[in-house]
Amino acid sequence: MKRRLAGILLTAAVVGLLGGCGEGGGTARTEESAVESEEDVRPTAVEKEGAESDVEIENPFIDVNAPEHAAKLSGFDLTLPGSLDGYEAGVWRSIPGQMTEVILTGQGNEIRLRKGRGEEDISGDYNTYSKEEELMVGDVKVTEKKNDDGIHLALWTSGGFSFAMMSDQGLDGEFVSGIISGTA
């Protein structure tokens, strides 16, 4: 009796597995055929290995090796000032059609400078700072967020674009104003 029941269950399981193989009309959908256009490519949530409830959003940025490549992906240029006071443009990155970011390195620090379409905050910085000020740099209204050691976040808009400048280390106001004035 037990042997007969085991045989029936095994047969049912095999039939169920084989029945699932025929779904989709027998045509395998490849990654290439699944993506019709750039609009079909979206970041997806992926589960971290070894974690039951940790879900992580896939990085939407594409790293490139030159500003012109980032501009081609985003659809617009990010122009830096002529002088970066000891910082160098390192990694250029883009979210196609939306944003360009350059990571400036120097003086033991990294500064992320972003430009994106629209007028919302594109920084991704949700830290709390001890002081927030609005001021004018030329004819541009800038929001600076700072702690006692200096400015960590500067936000501004110009010409239909949002800009964000983020730094782990506090920056001097004159340096930040120079970057803002020379960035387009």
Q: Is the pLDDT of residue 123 over 50?
A: yes
Is 35 domain-assigned?
A: no
Is 54 domain-assigned?
A: no
| Nearest CA among 135, 105, 111, 139 for reference residue 123 | 111
Q: Is the pLDDT of residue 9 over 70?
A: no
Is 50 domain-assigned?
A: no
| Model pLDDT for residues 138-152, shown as the tens digit of each residue | 999 999 999 999 999
Range of the domain at 147: 62-182
Is 133 domain-assigned?
A: yes
Give the distance from CA 168 to its chain's centroid: 17
For the chain, the average pLDDT equals 80
Number of domains into which the chain is organized: 1
Is 19 domain-assigned?
A: no
Is 4 domain-assigned?
A: no
Over its C-alpha atoms, the chain yields an Rg (Å, rounded) of 25
Is 32 domain-assigned?
A: no
